[in-house]
Structure 1
Amino acid sequence: TDYRDATNKTLRYRFAMSYVTGAHAFKTGIVNSWAMADYNQFAIQPIRYRLNRGIPNQVIMRVRPYHDLWTLDAEPGIYAQDRWTVDRLTLNVGLRYDYKRSHFPEQTIGDPGNPYGASSFVPVPFVIPKTDQLRWHDITPKMAAAYDLFGDGKTAVKVSLNKYLDGTQVDGIGNPVAGNLVLETTRSWNDTNQNFKPECDLLAPLANGECGPMANPNFGKVSGGAGQWDPRLLRGWGVRGYNWEFSTSVQRQLVPRVSADVGYFRRWYGNLTTTDDRALTPADFDTFSIPAPSDPRLPNGGGYTVGGLRDLKPGSFGRPSDNRITFANEFGRYIRHWNGVDVSVNARVREGVLLQGGLSTGRTSTDNCDLVEQLPELAAATPLGYCHIDTKFLTQVKFLGSYTVPRIDVQVSGSMQSVPGPEVQANFVASTALAAQSLGRPLSGGAPNVTVNIVQPGSMYGERFRATRTATGSSRRGFWLDAR
């Protein structure tokens, strides 16, 4: 288990002014913040072991502890927005400019003065100098309109289009620690004497004793190939991750005190990133398949073939990485969309009585087939057929009602909901002998097995979760009774 001793400091300020007339409601303002983060990442044990049915087969080695420092120098945002009403039409428009500047202070890896000790996998400490990080400029628009369709105040048609910036934790983007130091690697382990101790020199990158070679021989060393960031991701206009959201809906008063709302929503993402190991090409991989076991819990009872798996050729295993993090569209199309529909009904049938209910359904679509064709190292143990995913429509149904008893001011309420169960994965541990039937050789690096999800993501879900709740109480009288 990893632990983090963290110190965070943040300073924010904001200023805004408004101007309201009969037809306009205008507002403008500025916000800004400064922050720093001091992380000490450590673990009780920097080594992990993987076992299959109680038999050791892999050692996971990690550089722990290590110190990570980050400073947000400035994050100003300047915005202007206006609500304009013209007859039956109401328009909301806004524009915002965001700037973000940050850096990483000088930091020492393998510092013997670290309160959690020096890392046993960094025998010689080294200093990473101060590194500039982000220089982001972004302009984001927001637009919405509502129209009283018949002029009677009973039917409203609404539409909106908004852009949102990625809320990624920016202390990880362009991090020189991750970019200069290989923090983790694996090696196979054949516990020949069954004493559950890897009897080998873990610092030696080549196979020795009970251990196979390191998957990355630069582990614990300064290596530019650990994860170099494309400078285009760190500086410029409009390079930050974002998503657009479009929505349209119709709200209608059915009868007095009862209304219905039907809406459609679509969200799509841009400036997606990927990692390209420039030390590898598709020619460095062999393709193979495995048979799924027969099991009534699997689609059609199992027994099908799971293909499109890839394994590094033995001659390419252990080659030092040369990772470059860049825009995914450099390698073709990469899409991530979400489409959904909401239906709801609200009723205030009489004073003190409120009824609400509805459903929300939607699905996610992703396609990274171009990427995994050119960069098979991204998902070597993931079937190629999983590169295009359309999940099932996941539907939530919720109802609630409440009644406030007059005179005594006591509220009685109840609710019920039905939501989808968790996504089901079927991770099958395929032995090297099973893989060799199609691969024509054992798995590279002496790996005894490979774990494969033999169910397409987004296709199977657990039993729906259903819940009811009742409550009685009064805030004025200071009591509540809740039952679930």
Structure 2
Amino acid sequence: GYYFNNGGYFRYNFGSPFSSKVRATDNTSVTPANYTSYCITAPKNPQLPGGGGYPVCNLADVNPDKYGQVTNYVTLSDKYGTFSSRNDFIGVTIDARLAKGIRLNGGFDTGRSVRDRCFVIDSPQELLNCRVVTPFSAQTQYKANGVVPFKYDFAFAFAWQNVSGPSYGADYAASNAEIIPSLGRPLSGGISTPTVAIPLVAPQTLFEDRITRLDLRLTKIFKYNRFRFQINLDAYNVLNSNSIRAVNSVYGAAWRTPLQILDPRLIEIGGSITF
């Protein structure tokens, strides 16, 4: 048998030249001076960073005399600032072909991404969470698979993976009553805007638990003249994991309610005929 290892460091960096290709929309009816900045206090909740109760700032509301005025102009973002996106990744794979037809494959990937768009076109709130960092822990995955032949034309195969859990946010509907003490007035929308959605946490900050899945297959081959029959017994999600794949990011009574989980354990019999 033999082993084949492959690995490397990969960096993808999109800087100033890339910015000249990104489109931006500028509402020419307003400028940053036509906005008033304010803060709110995040609700107390042990599931929020630090238990909640922290200030959320860099928020802005357009002044009443400019409310509803829109004259959009589509242009390139490099007229206002630099958009950059940097990705640093490491990957390692192993391919092992052993005696008696045994074959094993596996590896891992991990990386860190930084997306920076820290400039203002219209609203000062564009600086809120303008630099998003996706950590290594959110982009680390391990995978392995293999095939082991046995006597009498039997074969056993497996596929295993452990990947990062989904990211989720906490989008909070802040009321006028919560905003007025800092803003000094109601929201410009008046009764038509009783609340405004405010992210309580930065993107790529909160994550559900990692997802682990194991699938198995047992195969038996029969041969008759020029016919080849293959019978498969498959078991998907053998561990019957109920890992969460997506959750509700709207802060409230249903916050973090699972929207999608791994399919339950499934046993399936199938086959094929080759001639």
Matched, 1:359 2:108: yes
Report what 2:25 is aligned to: 275
Whose Rg is larger? 1
Report what 1:306 is aligned to: 56
CA drift at 1:374:
3.1
Matched, 1:478 2:224: no
**1:139-154 aligned within 5 A:** none
In structure 1, stretches of 5+ residues that fail to align are: 1-255
Which of 459, 462, 465 aligns to 2:211? It is 465
CA drift at 1:343:
1.2
**1:416-455 aligned within 5 A:** 416-446=160-190, 447-455=193-201
Task: Report the 3-state secondary structure (helix = DSSP H, G, I; strand = E; otherwise coil) of the residue aligned with 1:386.
Answer: coil
Whole-angstrom distance in 2 between the partners of 1:310 and 1:472: 60
Counting helix residues as a fraction of each chain, which structure ranks higher?
Answer: 2
Q: Which amino acid is the alignment partner of residue 457 of structure 1?
A: P
CA drift at 1:340:
0.9
Q: Which amino acid is the alignment partner of residue 414 of structure 1?
A: F
CA contact (8 A) 1:352 1:405 kept: no
Matched, 1:293 2:43: yes
Alignment length (residue pairs):
221
CA drift at 1:481:
1.2
CA shift digits 1:4-41 (9 cap, x unpaired): xxxxxxxxxxxxxxxxxxxxxxxxxxxxxxxxxxxxxx
Q: What is the identity percentage for the equivalent residue pairs of Structure 1 and Structure 2?
A: 33
Bigger RCO (CA 8 Å, 6+ sep) = 2
CA drift at 1:351:
3.3
Whole-angstrom distance in 2 between the partners of 1:386 and 1:364: 14
Whole-angstrom distance in 1 between the partners of 2:200 and 2:31: 25
Moved more, 282-291 or 350-359: 350-359
Task: Report the 3-state secondary structure (helix = DSSP H, G, I; strand = E; otherwise coil) of the residue aligned with 2:189.
Answer: helix
CA shift digits 1:94-153 (9 cap, x unpaired): xxxxxxxxxxxxxxxxxxxxxxxxxxxxxxxxxxxxxxxxxxxxxxxxxxxxxxxxxxxx
Task: Report the 3-state secondary structure (helix = DSSP H, G, I; strand = E; otherwise coil) of the residue aligned with 2:206.
Answer: coil
Which of 117, 121, 132 aligns to 1:389? It is 132
**1:362-373 aligned within 5 A:** 362-370=111-119, 373=120
Whole-angstrom distance in 2 between the partners of 1:465 and 1:309: 35
Q: Which amino acid is the alignment partner of residue 208 of structure 2?
A: G
Matched, 1:400 2:145: yes
Whole-angstrom distance in 1 between the partners of 2:159 and 2:52: 40
In structure 2, stretches of 5+ residues that fail to align are: 222-227, 237-275
CA shift digits 1:170-227 (9 cap, x unpaired): xxxxxxxxxxxxxxxxxxxxxxxxxxxxxxxxxxxxxxxxxxxxxxxxxxxxxxxxxx
CA contact (8 A) 1:292 1:454 kept: yes
CA contact (8 A) 2:145 2:158 kept: yes
Q: After TM superposition, what 4+ stretches of structure 1 lie above 4 angstroms from structure 2?
A: none
Report what 1:92 is aligned to: none
Which of 151, 154, 159 aligns to 1:410? It is 154
Matched, 1:266 2:16: no
Report what 1:36 is aligned to: none
Task: Report the 3-state secondary structure (helix = DSSP H, G, I; strand = E; otherwise coil) of the residue aligned with 1:351.
Answer: helix
CA contact (8 A) 1:413 1:472 kept: yes
Whole-angstrom distance in 1 between the partners of 2:234 and 2:78: 52
CA drift at 1:404:
2.2
Q: Which amino acid is the alignment partner of residue 172 of structure 2?
A: F
CA drift at 1:474:
5.0
CA drift at 1:375:
2.6
Q: Which amino acid is the alignment partner of residue 327 of structure 1?
A: L
CA contact (8 A) 2:168 2:207 kept: yes
CA shift digits 1:323-344 (9 cap, x unpaired): 1222111111111222211012
Task: Report the 3-state secondary structure (helix = DSSP H, G, I; strand = E; otherwise coil) of the residue aligned with 1:444.
Answer: coil
CA contact (8 A) 1:414 1:471 kept: yes
Which of 333, 352, 370 aligns to 2:82? It is 333
CA shift digits 1:450-482 (9 cap, x unpaired): 111111111111111111110122574232111
CA contact (8 A) 2:103 2:147 kept: yes
Q: Which amino acid is the alignment partner of residue 442 of structure 1?
A: P
Whole-angstrom distance in 1 between the partners of 2:128 and 2:145: 42
Task: Report the 3-state secondary structure (helix = DSSP H, G, I; strand = E; otherwise coil) of the residue aligned with 2:135.
Answer: coil
**1:202-221 aligned within 5 A:** none
Whole-angstrom distance in 2 between the partners of 1:275 and 1:474: 61
Whole-angstrom distance in 2 between the partners of 1:462 and 1:375: 34
TM-score by structure 1 length? 0.44
Q: Which amino acid is the alignment partner of residue 279 of structure 1?
A: S
Report what 1:345 is aligned to: 94
Task: Report the 3-state secondary structure (helix = DSSP H, G, I; strand = E; otherwise coil) of the residue aligned with 1:477.
Answer: strand
Whole-angstrom distance in 2 between the partners of 1:335 and 1:294: 34
CA contact (8 A) 1:338 1:363 kept: yes
